[in-house]
Amino acid sequence: MRRRVKLAALAVGVLAVPTGLVVSTAGAASANASCGRTGPNLDNTVVSMAAGVSANMRSGSSTSCGVKGWADNRDSLDYYCYTWDANSASWTYLYNRSDGTYGWVKDSLLPNNGSTKHCGF
């Protein structure tokens, strides 16, 4: 269900006009967290990373951004919000309570597919 909500938010970026024209707006797909950008704490979800699973925590919502830490092996993760990358994949900004690091993790690697609260960018 959470994935459907995110996909629906992404689809809002294109509007059909009654005349048959399609008008494109600056939707969520064009927004991302540039390297070094943090996200606001909009979500109160705390999860535990699955045992044996590891994901890089990055400085922005892209694999080209530097690695700041890791979310792995039952770490306690506090979700803040999500945004999109240039390829329309969603990423969650989070706080790793187990080691005190903050960073962006691709939602496909997170429990429950990451945060359900959009960062606003």
In words, the CATH class of domain 39-113 is: mainly beta
Roughly how many angstroms between the first and final C-alpha of the chain, as a whole number?
A: 22
Per-position pLDDT tens, the chain of length 121: 555 456 555 544 433 334 444 443 344 444 689 999 999 999 999 999 999 999 999 999 999 999 999 999 999 999 999 999 999 999 999 999 999 999 999 999 999 999 999 999 9
Token duo for residue 17 = 């006009």
pLDDT of residue 2: 55
pLDDT of residue 17: 37
Locate the domains of the chain by residue range: 39-113
Measured between alpha carbons, how far is 90 from 109 in angstroms, rounded to an integer? 10
Q: How far is CA 19 from CA 16, 22, 24, 89, in A?
A: 8, 9, 14, 31
Q: How many residues does the chain have?
A: 121
pLDDT of residue 77: 98
